[in-house]
Amino acid sequence: MTMRRLIGLGVFVLGCLLVPAVCRSESRGNETGIVSAKAYASIQAAVDANPGKMVLVPAGDHVVDRKVRISGKGGGLYGPGRIVQSEPGQPILEIEHAEGVGISDVTLTRAKGKEDATAPGLLCCDCRRVRIEGVCVVDNRARDAAIEIRESAHCTVRDSEVLNYKRIAVDDRTGPGENLHGYAFFAIDGTGIVVRDSTHTMLVGNRIVETNLMPTPAIKDKYKLGTLTEGRHPSKPGKLGVGALLRRYVNNWHQGSGIVVTGPEVTRHTVIRGNVIENAAQGIDLHCDYAVCSDNVVDHGMMGIKATHGCRGLIISGNMLTHVDLWGILLNPGAASHHAEGAEGGKPARGANVDAGVIVANNIISDYGYGHEYWNWGGKSGDQAGSYAIALFEGQLESNPPLTDVLIEGNIVYNTGRDGVLVDGKPKVLGPRYRYAVYVGPWGETGKPGATYPRGLHFANNLLHPGTRGVSNVDLRP
């Protein structure tokens, strides 16, 4: 056999091996195990026909008007395609009653002109061991989270991105019966990632960015932000709402967070590490027990990191918080915290929900007061009233257990302005834009310390540049 014939035979055999493989990869029930949504009428049809298998979402836009739903064991979605939801009241993707599902590399978004929504982007509910990796949720602008983990365990959100998740909304704090607030107001609202009533969750290496809706004076005036309006129920002032109803206005009209971990009597053992958050209202908001919040970056926000409503056993360490305008790190007993209670009057017994046993270590708070909301907070007054880089408050209610046993060590609060900043193109040395580097005590400095005054605070080896009133309102020596 000649050399030419040998080469020709080799090419023919190779072609026979490769061509069927390519065809099989696009077919249903193929031998390679690759299932592509391209071979089905819809992504949902591909998922339903292949339980427990990963479905490839090929490049291009895949428009849906109902949520894509995954349940059961195994399976999931992967690939470069975009799932585009055209119905604002529907989630884009819902994983429910599932175990071992994986979602990777897909983009979830909403149709142009329908970005303002009333549903989450990706909802994971009642699940175990779900992995969300490399997913992008773009323009899911809703009060609901772009990504929400609810009533689940051992779930991971890693290396994913949330872009533009806020909208103009009504923050409705009215309700039937007794209510702590009893009013509703116009607000910017929305959250990047929420973990609710879940355990052993990991949020690692994610990026949460808002570039569409910023808290400027022009936006405030355009949408009457902070102005009270009618809610679902009649306005009726509660313990925390009397002043707002008298003024018919609140200044905390920028709501939501980059990351929220909540469900203080259920949620525990959470890792929030290495995330980057830009232009949030609150960077990271914690209402949970036994959490590690480390090595995150929060750039621009009303608050950097907040822990309240019953947070026990937290490590808040190694975070970089820049361009924050109200509180860099805030710890306080919120209204949901309580002492242990025995069974009484038909109510079951419940254990204590307290804010205690917290380490705040090796964090840097810098460029304070140079964010987007300084004009609405400390910038409203010459002495930066109410603005504290580290704030340790009393409880919201007299019944709250006090904040107890907190170690604050190795942190830096740095007054950027003393090195000189550019004003109209010229360097100028400015004073601090916070009142105290550390504040401990009542809400409002004129109040007298009460029964919920913080206890067992230990400060060591911190570098704290003084604010307009000094380093702290209390002695920080051991």
pLDDT higher than 50, residue 476 = yes
Question: For residue 19, is it within any domain?
Answer: no
pLDDT higher than 60, residue 31 = no
CA angle 208, 209, 211 (to 5 degrees): 165
Question: For residue 70, is it within any domain?
Answer: yes
DSSP-based helix, strand, coil % in the chain, nearest 5? 10, 40, 45
Range of the domain at 68: 43-340+352-464
In whole angstroms, what is the distance from residue 382 CA to residue 321 CA?
23
pLDDT of residue 177: 65
Mean pLDDT of the chain: 91
Q: pLDDT digit string (tens) for 401-438?
A: 999 999 999 999 999 988 888 888 888 888 999 999 99
CATH number at residue 401: 2.160.20.10
Tell me whether strands 364-366 and 320-331 are parallel, antiparallel or unpaired: parallel
pLDDT higher than 90, residue 239 = no
Question: For residue 10, is it within any domain?
Answer: no
Reference 333, options 467, 455, 189; nearest CA is: 455
Question: For residue 450, is it within any domain?
Answer: yes
Q: pLDDT digit string (tens) for 162-175?
A: 999 999 999 999 88
Question: For residue 309, is it within any domain?
Answer: yes
In whole angstroms, what is the distance from residue 307 CA to residue 330 CA?
6
pLDDT of residue 166: 98
CA angle 366, 462, 325 (to 5 degrees): 30
Residue with tokens 């009428």: 41
Question: For residue 11, is it within any domain?
Answer: no
Domain count, the chain: 1
Neighbour count for residue 416 (Cβ, 10 Å):
18
Share of the chain above pLDDT 70, in %: 93
Q: What's the mean pLDDT in 211-228?
A: 97
Q: pLDDT digit string (tens) for 114-125?
A: 999 999 999 999
Question: For residue 14, is it within any domain?
Answer: no
Report the range of poorest mean pLDDT among 77-81, 182-186, 327-331.
182-186
In whole angstroms, what is the distance from residue 287 CA to residue 5 CA?
74
Q: What's the mean pLDDT in 33-56?
A: 95
Question: For residue 325, is it within any domain?
Answer: yes
Reference 472, options 382, 431, 30, 464; nearest CA is: 464
pLDDT of residue 323: 97
